[in-house]
Amino acid sequence: DNTRALMQRLPADERESLYWRPESYTWRDYFIGTHIPGLEKYVFPDMKEELADKPRLAHMHRDLVDMFESTTYANRHRVAARFLDGETFEHLTYAELRLLAERVSAYVLDTIGPEPGETRIMLVCENRPEWVAAYFGILRAGCTVVPVDAFASAEQIREVAKVADVRGIIVSPTVAERASIDGAWPLRDAVRFKDRLIVPKAPARVASLVFTTGTSKGVMLSHRNFTFEVSRLAGIFPLDEKDHLLSVLPLHHTFEFTAGLLVPLSRGATVTYVSELSGDTLQRALEDGVTGLIGVPALWELLRDRIETRVNDNTRLAGFVLDGIKVVNNFLRQHTELNLGPLLAYPVHRALGGRLKYLVSSGSTLSPDVLAFFRGVGFNMTEGYALTEAAPIVTVTDPLDPMVPGSVGKPLHGVDVTIEHPDEHGIGEVLMRGPNVMLGYWGSHGKPLDAPPSRGWLRTGDMGRMDEEGRLFLVGRKGATDLDRYGQNPAIREVADQRAIEAARVSAPADAEHVAVPVSVATAGKRLLQWTQKKFYQHVMDVDVRGRGYIPRDTSFIVAANHTSHLDAGLVQEALGAYGKNLVPLAAADYFFSTKTRRAYFEHFTNVRPVARRGAYEAMFADALAAIDRGHSLLLFPEGTRSRDGRMQSFQHAIGYLAMHAQRPVLPMYLSGTHEALPKGAPLLPRARGIGAAIGLALQPSVFAALGEPGPETYASATALIEKAIAALRDVGGYRVEELRP
C-alpha cells in the first residue's frame, strides 16, 4: 500500500516511464524465470560461502619467543620433552625447558656481549631436548639460529659457518667428538651456565637461516613465517596436553621443526626423542602411548610392510581378513563418517601403542596404496606440500576428509596457490604467496640476496594442477625429464590417469552416480573377492570342466557362453584357470551399474565393464575393444540376459560385431547345471552343487573374415555361427568348424 501511495504522488508522465504494475505480472513466470535464477546467480553463491565450515584457526603469537614464553608458563608442570636412551626415559618439564633456554641465552650474551645486533649462531646437534632449549635460548638472546645437520662433516660445518657469517657454533658432545671445530661452544656448557635472569631481547628479524643440502644459499625465515604456520596447523591438528608425539626426522629440517616441534609445543603436548633410529627403539617409544608421528614415505612403507609381514606370518587367512578390513573401512570412510578401523584392526593399533591418532608424511608424495593401507586400518594419515621457502608447509590434507589419491591437499588458510600457464590438462608451474613466504635468500657472499616482492608470487619450480575443490596435485619438477619408479615422466602418468578416468566416465550412463574408490582399495577388494570366489568354486561347488586344451595360450580372446545364472561368470573364470585372471566380463549397464552402490562395487572391486543394451555398437563396445587391445580377454553372454527356464535363447548380434572387429579368437563355452543350482530370481544360495563347462575349439578371426566385410549381415552370420557352436557343445559335446559355416 505504501508503494502504491508513493506511485500516486508521482506526476502522470513519470508514472508512465516507471513501469510498476504488479497486478499484471504472472507471478509464477516471474519467480521461475527471473527471481529464482537471480538468487541462484547473485545470492546463493555468497550464502554457500558464508554458511560453509570456517577454517579452524588457533591464536597467532607475535613471534616465537612470545610463543615459547607463553606455553612454558601455561604448561610449566607438564612434560615438554622426553629422551629415550635404550630402555630409559629422561623427562623435561616445560618449566625445566624454559630454565635451560634461559641459561643458553645468558651463555650466548655472556660470550658475544649484551647487544647482539644482527648476530647468527649455528646449532649443530642431534634430536634431543637440549636442541630445543638451545634454539629458543638463541632466539631469546635476540639472535638468529642457523640449524645444521648433526651428521654434517667438519668441512661442511665450516663452509656454512663462513657463508652465514656466524658469531658462534654450539655443538653437542656427539658432534664435538666426531667433528673437530675450532672455537665451538659446547652445548653442555651452555645448558649448565650459571642461573641468571635474562629478559628476552627484541627478536631478530630472521628467526632461522636454513641451508638445504647441496646449496650455497640460505633461506631466511622470520618469526612471523613460523607463527603463521603454527596457528594454521594447530587448527587442523587439534593437539592438547594429552597428546604425545614421537620425533624421528632431523630437527634442522623445517618440516619436523614446524610440525613436529612448534605445533605440539604451542599446545602443551609432549615430544619424545630417541637416541637411535632402530626398530626396537621405535617400538619401545610407540608402546609408551605416542599419539602422533611424522615420517617420510620410506618410513611408512617400511611400517606397512612390517605390519603385513607379521599378520601373514600368523596365517594366510589373517592377511586376507586384513585386506577385507581395509577395503570395507576405506569405503566407509570415503562415503560416511564411520571409521571402524580401530575396532576391526585392533591388533594393529595395539602393536603401535594403541593411541596413535596422527600420522603425517613429508618429503615426497606418498604412494596411494600406502595411504590406503593406513586409512583402511583406521589411522588418520595426512600429507602435505612443503617448501623450505614457505616455512615450510603450503598445502595439507585434512585427516578427516575423504581420501583423494595423488592430492597433497588444499592451501593453508591465508595462503594462495595458483597454476601459471596451465596446459590443456591443467598442468603448469605451481606459484604460491602468503605470510609464510620467506624474507629472501642469504647469498654465498655472506649477505642477503634480493627478497621476493612482498605481494608477488613465489615460484616453486614444481609442476602441478588443481581440481575444482582447490586440491593440489603435483606431477614433477619444471623441466624435469627423469623417469619415476613407474618408468614414466610423472606429469605424463598423471595425465594418463586423468584420461583413464574420463574414459570411464564416458563409457558410463550419463545420469549415473559415480563413486571414487582409491586404486589400492579396489586392488585389495579384487584380490579378496577372487580368493573367495576361487574357494567357493573349488570347495562348495562340484565343477566339471572339459576342453581346457582349446583355450588360446598366446593371445587374448572373447568367451561366448550361454547364460542362466549369476554363477555363470565365476564358472567361466574357474574353467579358464590361470587364463581367466585378466578376464573382463561385459555386463548390462542398466542392471549392474544402475545404482550408486552397485556401480561402486562392480566398477572398483571387479573387472566387470558396463555395456548398454541398446545403441550403436561402435559406442557400446569402444571400451571393450580397448580392453582387449591391452591384453584382456572378454566375456560376453550373447543372449543379453539370464534365461528363466534354463533353455538357451536367441543370440543378439552384439557378439557378431565383436567377433568381426576384435581380430581375436572367439572361444565358445556351454555352461550346464547353473540354472538348477541358482536360477534367476532365486535367493543367493545354491540349490545344487554339480555344475560344468564345456569349452569348444576357438573360432579364429579368419573364420569371421571369410563371412565378408563388417556390416549388419555379417554380424548376423557371425552370431549364428557362434550360436551354432555353443548349441553343438550342448547337444553333442563338440563340433568341427566346417560344420558351423552357413
- Distance between CA atoms of 257 and 264, rounded to whole angstroms? 10
- Distance between CA atoms of 323 and 327, rounded to whole angstroms? 6
DSSP 505: H
Give ∠ CA 483-489-491 in degrees, rounded to 5: 150
- Helix/strand/coil (H, E, C) string of 64-133? HHHHHHHHHHHCCCCEEEEEEECCEEEEEEHHHHHHHHHHHHHHHHHHHCCCCCCCEEEEECCCCHHHHH
What does the domain layout of the chain look like in residue ranges?
A: 2-51, 60-279, 519-740
The pLDDT tens digits for 205-227 are 999 999 976 667 899 999 999 99
The half-sphere exposure of 514 on its side-chain side, counting CA atoms within 13 A, is 13
Q: Would you list the DSSP string of 513-559? A: ------HHHHHHHHHHHHHHHHHIIIIISEEEEE-GGGS-SSS--EE
- Distance between CA atoms of 88 and 83, rounded to whole angstroms? 8
Q: Give the CATH fold of the 60-279 domain.
A: Rossmann fold (3.40.50)
Give ∠ CA 127-132-133 in degrees, rounded to 5: 130
Query: Are the C-beta atoms of 293 and 246 separated by less than 8 Å?
Result: yes
Tally of CB atoms within 10 A around 424: 6
The pLDDT tens digits for 175-206 are 998 888 888 999 999 998 886 666 778 899 99
Read off φ and ψ for residue 147, nearest 5 degrees. -80, 135
**pLDDT > 50? residue 116:** yes
Residue predicted with more confidence, 56 or 387: 387
**pLDDT > 90? residue 290:** yes
In the predicted model, what is the mean pLDDT of the chain?
82
Residue at grid coordinates 591464536: 59
Residue at grid coordinates 635474562: 198
- Which of 379, 374, 377, 414 shows the shortest CA–CA distance to 393? 414
Average pLDDT of the residues in 498-515: 37
pTM: 0.60
Core vs surface per residue 656-668: b (16+ CB within 10 A) or e: bbbbbbbebbbbb
pLDDT of the residue at 454: 46
Mark residue 142 as left, alpha or beta (left: phi above 0; alpha: psi -120 to 50; beta: remaining). left
Q: Give the CATH fold of the 519-740 domain.
A: Glycerol-3-phosphate (1)-acyltransferase (3.40.1130)
Q: What is the largest CA-CA distance in the chain?
A: 106
Percent of the residues in the chain that have a pLDDT greater than 90, as a whole number: 41
Encoded amino acid at 594, one letter: S
Kind of pairing, strands 218-221 and 208-211? antiparallel
**DSSP bridge partners of 696:** none
pLDDT of the residue at 189: 92
pLDDT of the residue at 254: 94
Identify the band that residue 332 occupies on the pLDDT scale cut at 50, 70 and 90: confident
Identify the band that residue 493 occupies on the pLDDT scale cut at 50, 70 and 90: very low
3-state secondary structure of 92: strand
pLDDT of the residue at 23: 72
**pLDDT > 70? residue 9:** yes
Average pLDDT of the residues in 379-393: 91
Query: Using only C-alpha atoms, what is the Rg of the chain?
Result: 34
Residue predicted with more confidence, 444 or 344: 344
